[in-house]
């Protein structure tokens, strides 16, 4: 198990994704981001460099399904797909796995 070795305090005016270069530095860790950290170009670079991460997907993300996986009947996931993601102006080059799950309040959320 890995524990944080450093923390960086910022003001509320600084955007979260500016901290990706500071905080992501260990390929043996799994990083979990909220949607404020979404940066498709940087996620592409992290994928190419061998980092593992999970992030909630923004509702306005443009996704293109590449492949859909069949799930067991007792699966907690609603769906699992390989996707290209991004926005209309900026699309990631790598394929990402999109998980559609239900949170504790019964809302469907998308994770990459």
Q: Is residue 9 part of a domain?
A: no
In-domain check, residue 8? no
Q: Which residues contact 102 (CB under 8 A, 6 or more apart)?
A: 76, 78, 108, 109
Cα–Cα distance between 27 and 52 in angstroms, integer? Answer: 7
The band of 6, judged by pLDDT with boundaries at 50, 70 and 90, is low
pLDDT of residue 46: 87
Q: Could you list the residue range(s) of the whole structural domain that residue 81 is in?
A: 16-111
Domain count of the fold of the chain: 1
* Mean pLDDT, residues 15-21 taken together: 67
Structure confidence by residue, pLDDT tens digits, 26-82: 888 888 877 777 788 888 888 899 998 888 888 888 888 899 999 898 888 889 999
Q: Is residue 3 part of a domain?
A: no
- Global confidence as pTM: 0.70
């Amino acid at each position: 198990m890995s524990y944080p070795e450093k923390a960086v305090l910022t003001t509320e005016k600084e955007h979260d994704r500016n901290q990706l270069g500071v905080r992501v530095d260990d390929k043996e860790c799994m990083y979990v981001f909220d949607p404020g950290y979404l940066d498709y170009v940087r996620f592409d670079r992290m994928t190419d460099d061998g980092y593992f991460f999970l992030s909630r997907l923004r509702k306005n993300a443009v996704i293109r399904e590449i492949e859909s996986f069949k799930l067991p009947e007792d699966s907690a996931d609603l769906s699992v797909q390989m996707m290209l993601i991004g926005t209309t102006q900026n699309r990631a080059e790598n394929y990402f796995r999109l998980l559609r799950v239900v949170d504790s309040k019964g809302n469907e959320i998308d994770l990459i």
